């Protein structure tokens, strides 16, 4: 398969287009390696993970250049992604060392009770293109930390980052077979893994549509799942918020990877009293964002990943305008010399309302629709009026309000007075149509463990 530069479309390289056969060979290798890797001491495994974290940072420039080429994001963001990825290895290593058998107080003096954490076995991961390295790290680090072995399929747009990642893992001393990368036909590979029986878990980050298909396919072999799916994050600005700070957070959160993250604010809800002030400042800041190739040092907005992505943003803009929204910035692609027509300008729509597509569906692009609300109850009602539940953001100078609102929002992650919430040491994941399971910190490890309960009679009865 050809891998192309996201900005120019120029071929960067070719990778194998594997299918079911190769997918099963990967499972063979992972199964053979499982006994040795899971039997090693946690300290041994944590040491390898520590070396991986170190090697990722040591090869930062190399990774950043590849991520920016195949994904399109600005180099600064690619550098940030590498630190974020290395942190997943540190976090998993630390948490694995803390993980211990638990002795459970028994009501019956004739019995002692224990819970023993065990690796699930061979696990699979299917990762997206928006964070070509971090989403791999987020799934691989906890799996390896607890003694699982893994088979992985990276997104077809960004396999070169995954190949370099595999090289780093091998160089860091991971035994052969513990991590197996298969590039190629997504449906053939996932079908082979989910019907094999030796694969005991699949972790997937991607669309809700594909998540549903995988859930059906996982049913036959009762494969455990973690699904990090679409988001539709509300970004609520209360009348007592620090408006310049809220605008800065909105820009940072909304336009990261040109709006192509699951946790990007998707709907802006602003209190009527501060609406004009927020909108004026936000529009000025959005218009000032430099658009261009990710490899140019000044670029803040790179290309969208595909023509389909451009068409989806355009359709949402057209729909909103037809339903009464006001276009205040952007609204179309802008030409960049020598590049594909995929650079969508940061777009701001005022007077957005719930009947517009952009208020119902995830955009995955640089579109910020803004609506006005009256009181706190109305803001929460609009924010929760969606089957998705990944991230939400709230801005206020009243700590009690932030606490109250955070607890009432239906989602897995809340950014309170911040637009950037990702942290490898914290539990990342959603509810409802945004999926289930948590990645990061000790919560990430639990996804790869099976707890064995042992009840021992202290007197033979």
Interface residues toward ligand SIN, by CB under 6 A: 130-131, 134, 205, 228, 261-263, 422, 428
Nearest to 81 by CA among 105, 97, 92, 65: 65
Nearer to ligand SIN among residue 71 and residue 183 (C-beta):
71
Instruction: Tell me the residue number closest to ligand SIN, measured at CB.
Output: 422
CB of 438 to ligand SIN, least distance (A): 12
Q: Cite the DSSP H helix spans in 148-242.
A: 159-171, 186-194, 208-218
Q: Where do we find the tokens 């990702």?
A: 422
Q: Which of 148, 262, 339, 358 is catalytic?
A: 262
Q: Is 228 a catalytic residue?
A: yes
CB of 417 to ligand SIN, least distance (A): 18
DSSP 34-90: HHHHHHS-HHHHHHHHHHHHHHHHHTHHHHHHHHHHHH---HHHHHHHHHHHHHHHH
Full strand arrangement of the beta sheet holding 413-416 = 326-329, 347-350, 367-373, 265-271, 233-237, 391-395, 413-416
CB of 366 to ligand SIN, least distance (A): 14
CA 419, chain centre distance (Å): 15
Q: Is 273 a catalytic residue?
A: no
Nearer to ligand SIN among residue 179 and residue 428 (C-beta):
428
Nearer to ligand SIN among residue 119 and residue 154 (C-beta):
154
Nearest to 140 by CA among 157, 158, 123: 123
28 token code pair: 């063979």
Nearer to ligand SIN among residue 130 and residue 158 (C-beta):
130
Nearer to ligand SIN among residue 266 and residue 422 (C-beta):
422
Residues contacting residue 99 through CB under 8 Å, at least 6 positions apart: 42, 117, 146, 442, 445, 449
Q: Is 211 helix (H, G, I), strand (E, B) or coil?
A: helix
CB of 243 to ligand SIN, least distance (A): 25
Find out whether 379 and 269 touch, Cβ atoms under 8 Å. yes
DSSP 230: -
CB of 185 to ligand SIN, least distance (A): 22
- Can you name the residues that pair with 122 across neighbouring β-strands? 149, 199
Q: Which of 22, 81, 228, 376 is catalytic?
A: 228
CB of 11 to ligand SIN, least distance (A): 26
Find out whether 123 and 150 touch, Cβ atoms under 8 Å. yes
- Can you name the residues that pair with 293 across neighbouring β-strands? none
Nearer to ligand SIN among residue 196 and residue 439 (C-beta):
439
Task: Enumerate the active-site residues.
Answer: 228, 262
């Amino acid at each position: 398969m050809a891998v192309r530069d996201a900005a120019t479309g120029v071929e960067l390289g070719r990778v194998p287009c594997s299918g079911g056969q190769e997918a099963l060979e990967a499972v063979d290798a992972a199964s053979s390696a499982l006994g040795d890797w899971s039997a090693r001491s946690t300290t041994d495994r944590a040491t390898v993970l520590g070396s991986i974290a170190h090697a990722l940072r040591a090869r930062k420039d190399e990774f950043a250049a590849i991520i920016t080429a195949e994904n399109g994001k600005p180099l600064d963001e690619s550098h940030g992604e590498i630190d974020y990825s290395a942190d997943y290895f540190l976090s998993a290593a630390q948490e694995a060392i803390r993980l211990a058998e638990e002795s459970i107080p028994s009501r019956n003096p004739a019995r002692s009770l224990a819970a023993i954490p065990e690796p699930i076995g061979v696990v699979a991961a299917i990762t997206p293109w928006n964070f070509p390295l971090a989403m791999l790290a987020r799934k691989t680090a906890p799996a390896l930390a607890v003694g699982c072995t893994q088979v992985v399929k990276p997104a077809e747009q960004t396999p070169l980052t995954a190949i370099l990642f595999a090289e780093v893992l091998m160089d860091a001393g991971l035994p052969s077979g513990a991590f197996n990368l298969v590039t190629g036909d997504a449906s053939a590979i996932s079908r082979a893994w989910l019907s094999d029986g030796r694969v005991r878990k699949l972790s997937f980050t991607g669309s809700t549509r594909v998540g549903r298909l995988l859930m059906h396919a996982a049913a036959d072999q009762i494969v455990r799942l973690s699904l990090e799916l679409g988001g539709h994050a509300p970004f609520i600005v209360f009348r007592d918020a620090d408006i310049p700070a809220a605008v800065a957070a909105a820009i940072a959160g909304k336009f990261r990877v040109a709006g192509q993250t699951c946790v990007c604010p998707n709907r802006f809800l602003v209190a009527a009293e501060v609406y004009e002030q927020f909108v004026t400042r936000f529009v000025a800041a959005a218009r000032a964002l430099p658009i261009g190739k990710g490899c140019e040092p000044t670029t803040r907005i790179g290309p969208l990943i595909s023509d389909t992505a451009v068409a989806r943003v355009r359709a949402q803009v057209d729909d909103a305008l037809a339903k009464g929204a006001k276009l205040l910035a952007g609204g179309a692609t802008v030409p960049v010399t020598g590049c594909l027509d995929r650079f969508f300008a940061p777009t701001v729509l005022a007077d957005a309302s719930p009947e517009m597509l952009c208020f119902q569906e995830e955009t995955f692009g640089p579109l910020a629709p803004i609506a006005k609300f009256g009181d706190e109850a109305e803001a929460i009602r609009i924010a929760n009026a969606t089957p998705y539940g990944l991230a939400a953001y709230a801005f206020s100078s009243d700590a009690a309000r932030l606490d109250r609102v955070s607890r009432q929002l239906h989602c897995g992650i809340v950014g309170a007075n911040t637009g950037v919430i990702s942290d490898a040491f914290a539990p990342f994941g959603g509810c409802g149509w945004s999926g289930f399971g948590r990645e990061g910190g000790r919560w990430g490890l639990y996804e790869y463990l099976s707890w064995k309960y042992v009840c021992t009679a202290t007197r033979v009865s």
